[in-house]
Amino acid sequence: ILNVEQSPQSLHVQEGDSTNFTCSFPSSNFYALHWYRWETAKSPEALFVMTLNGDEKKKGRISATLNTKEGYSYLYIKGSQPEDSATYLCALRTSYDKVIFGPGTSLSVIP
Amino acid sequence: GAVVSQHPSWVICKSGTSVKIECRSLDFQATTMFWYRQFPKQSLMLMATSNEGSKATYEQGVEKDKFLINHASLTLSTLTVTSAHPEDSSFYICSARPGVHNEQFFGPGTRLTVL
């Protein structure tokens, strides 16, 4: 059974702090890696799709890196704001239709 | 663009009844739709993948007679939980993918509680 892990499970940071979380996955089954941002009572919102080893993507204050050889991806948030509070999901795509989600990292940004 | 709706957003039903959940892509045609289930404090688990006009492909351990999936049009897929029992209580969420696009777009989910 393939397992996608995320750490930490949750964290609380002060407004203005930068933070990062990790997604770990089995490197032998890699097709693509997705990051989603999921606010309570809303739909998960796609942040990044990453396919190449060494990929680095950026969207505003949020960026992500990918290492397919060792099986991890980092998500960074620079200067956290209260509106960044959400659960951040990573998902390993092992084929065109097969996606395995991690349990998520719940971020709370304290004003 | 790329909005997916789900209806209802929550439902409470009695044990033994059937519940239908609708997933609609509002501004695009979805050749493929996915149904996920989430237990408390756990990951989203893929239940099945459906392509318009063909039978759904169910993941191992998911009973296809229990969870009926219909993808009758390019904008609508339904999940029917038949003869629901309390252990079926969960959060169900769908996603839709346009054509050969690389991305899935999610609905907001449906909270099912079976009494």
Q: Supply the pLDDT for residue A29.
A: 81
pLDDT at A90: 96
Q: Can you state the percent helix, strand and coil of chain B, rounding each to 5? A: 5, 55, 45
A2 and B CB contact within 8 Å: no
Distance from the B68 Cα atom to the nearest Cα atom in chain A, whole angstroms = 19
For chain A, how far is it from start to end, CA to CA, in angstroms?
40
Asked whether the beta carbons of residue A99 and residue B46 sit closer than 8 angstroms, the reply is: yes
Averaged pLDDT of chain B: 92
Buried b (16+ CB within 10 A) or exposed e, B52-61: beeebebeee
Tens-digit pLDDT profile for residues A1-12:
778 999 999 999
Task: Write the DSSP string, B48-65.
Answer: EEEETTSPPEEPTT--TT
Which residues 26-65 on chain B approach chain A with CB closer than 8 angstroms?
32, 34, 36, 41-46, 49, 57
Listed in sequence order, the DSSP H helices in chain B are none
The mean per-residue pLDDT over the stretch B86-111 comes to 89
Q: Is A46 on the interface with B (CB under 8 A)?
A: yes
Report the alpha-carbon distance of residue B90 to residue B87 in Å, rounded: 8
Per-residue pLDDT band at A49 (split at 50, 70, 90): very high
> Of all helices (H) and strands (E), which one includes residue B36?
strand B30-38
Whether the per-residue pLDDT at B100 is higher than 90: the answer is no
Residue A64 confidence (pLDDT) above 90: yes
pLDDT for B102 beyond 80: no
pLDDT for B64 beyond 80: yes
Q: What is the mean pLDDT of residues A5-34?
A: 94
pLDDT at A19 over 90: yes
State the pLDDT confidence band at B52, using cuts at 50, 70 and 90. Answer: confident
Task: Tell me the percentage of chain A whose pLDDT exceeds 70.
Answer: 99
Other C-beta atoms within 10 Å of B39: how many?
A: 11
pLDDT band at A95 (very low <50, low <70, confident <90, very high): confident
- The C-alpha atoms of residue A92 and residue A67 are separated, in whole angstroms, by 13
Q: pLDDT > 70: what percent of chain B? A: 97
pLDDT of residue B101: 65
> What one-letter code names the amino acid at A40?
T
pLDDT of residue B103: 82
- Spell out which residues of chain A touch residue B104, defining contact as CB-CB under 8 Å: 34, 46, 99
Query: DSSP string spanning A6-67?
Result: EE-SEEEEETT--EEEEEE--GGG-SEEEEEEE-TTS--EEEEEE-STT-EEEETTEEEEEE
